[in-house]
């Protein structure tokens, strides 16, 4: 392939840029020349699931794909908070409160529809030309403005304290880590995201994605 898109099922513990680099290496080797490859929206290293990679001339349309709605399945851990909102951060015990299922459902209901959300400080958002995560890692104070997002649906898949599993259909620009933190604050328990899997981008499904092993990539 020299132009078009490739659907990839990103494994855990790999950056989105790492996925792009590996696919670029394989395609460039096959074509005997450097092939341009880009992504249309990052997934955190701990996350898995659907990525749309743009190849060759299709790279010019990357922005169109990044604006599309997405569907995620996630697991939130109640009772603690993480400095990054995910398993990679430092954890702090917040509460041993065990919310009832009714309380969880009531909290979840507050996050459906059009809401305001503050992205995590450990994110790729630029603040005065610098990535927020670079500033945060340097110990600098980071203030990220609220943004308006749309949560089209948010449903509980399973709840067995301290684990809360959800499925959500959201607009572009939504941070599931922030959703976990905000739900934890409403419940009074604290929360962070331990598992995250993107299963759909617009009409493209994870069922149609290829694993890196199918390209001969094992590292």
Q: What is the pLDDT of residues 22-48, one digit of tens each?
A: 999 999 999 999 999 999 988 999 999
138-176: pLDDT as tens digits: 566 667 778 999 999 999 999 999 999 999 999 999 999
The DSSP annotation for 44-57 comes to -TT-EEEEEEEEGG
User: Can you give the residue ranges of every domain in the chain?
Assistant: 4-66+203-215, 70-201
**Whether pLDDT at 130 is above 70:** no
**Whether pLDDT at 136 is above 60:** no
Separation of alpha carbons 181 and 54, rounded Å: 32
Catalytic residue list: 44
DSSP 10: E
CATH classification code of 4-66+203-215 = 3.30.2350.10
CATH superfamily name and code, 70-201: Pseudouridine synthase (3.30.2350.10)
What pLDDT sits at residue 131?
63
CB crowding 108-142: b at 16 or more within 10 Å, else e: beebeeebebebbbbbebebeeeebbebbeeeeeb
Which ranges in the chain belong to alpha helices (H)?
A: 16-31, 62-66, 101-109, 132-137, 176-187
Q: What is the maximal distance between C-alpha atoms in the chain?
A: 60
Is 202 within 8 Å of 69 (Cβ atoms)?
yes
- Total-model pTM: 0.91
Separation of alpha carbons 201 and 163, rounded Å: 25
Domains 4-66+203-215 and 70-201 share a fold: yes
Quick one: CA torsion of 98, 106, 88, 194, rounded to 10 degrees?
80
Separation of alpha carbons 80 and 58, rounded Å: 42
């Amino acid at each position: 392939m020299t132009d078009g898109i490739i659907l990839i099922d990103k494994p855990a513990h790999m950056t989105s840029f790492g996925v792009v680099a590996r696919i670029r290496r394989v395609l460039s080797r096959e074509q005997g020349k450097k092939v341009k490859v880009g992504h249309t929206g990052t997934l955190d290293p701990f996350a898995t699931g659907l990525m749309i990679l743009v190849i060759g001339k299709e790279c010019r349309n990357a922005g169109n794909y990044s604006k599309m709605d997405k569907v995620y399945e996630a697991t939130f851990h109640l009772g603690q908070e993480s400095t990054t909102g995910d398993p990679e951060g430092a954890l702090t015990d917040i509460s041993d409160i065990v919310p009832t299922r009714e309380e969880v459902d009531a909290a979840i209901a507050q996050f459906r529809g059009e809401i305001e959300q503050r992205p995590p400080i450990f994110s790729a958002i630029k603040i005065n030309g610098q990535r927020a995560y670079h500033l945060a890692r340097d110990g600098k104070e980071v203030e990220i403005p609220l943004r308006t997002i749309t949560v089209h649906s948010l449903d509980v898949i399973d709840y067995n304290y301290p684990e809360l599993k959800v499925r959500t259909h959201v607009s572009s620009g939504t941070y599931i880590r922030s959703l976990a933190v905000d739900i934890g604050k409403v419940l009074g328990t604290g929360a962070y995201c331990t598992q995250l899997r993107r299963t759909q981008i617009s009409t493209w499904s994870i069922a149609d994605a290829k694993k890196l092993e199918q390209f001969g990539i094992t590292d």
